[in-house]
Amino acid sequence: MGQRLDLQTLLESLLGSRNVYFQPPPSLQMIYPCIVYQKGRVNTEFADDLPYNRRKLYQVTVIDQNPDSDIPDKVGALPTCVHERFFTAENLNHDVFRLFF
């Protein structure tokens, strides 16, 4: 199981910039394209009633003005990553993923 800062570094390398935001406040002015991610639940597996494997879930959203961006493909190729949905808002394209890391 990786640490959150390791995920930050990985997402920055996929994006090719530092426009990766962890749980940004609504007042933050983001620069596009960007990746926004936030913590979700923890998936725990048990053996003999004891936890032996815990994986943190993150919601990762790629936001880009370009509808044909290759960034969602790069994020979607990560292990344990699943594309959840796509939507547009304020003329921006949003690809939302679920990622265990």
CB neighbours of residue 94 within 10 Å: 16
Supply the CATH number for residue 70's domain. 3.30.2000.30
Reported as a single tens digit per residue, the pLDDT across 11-30 is: 999 999 999 999 999 999 99
Q: Which residues pair with 86 in a beta bridge?
A: 95
Domain count, the chain: 1
Q: 30 is in which domain, residue-wise?
A: 4-100
Least confident range from 22-26, 50-54, 67-71: namely 50-54
**What b/e readout covers 13-39, taking b as 16+ CB neighbours within 10 angstroms?**
ebbeeebbbeeeeeeeeeeebbbbbee
pLDDT of 76-100, one tens digit each?
999 999 999 999 999 999 999 999 9
CB 62 within 8 A of CB 69: yes
For 47, residues 6+ apart whose C-beta sits below 8 A from its C-beta are none
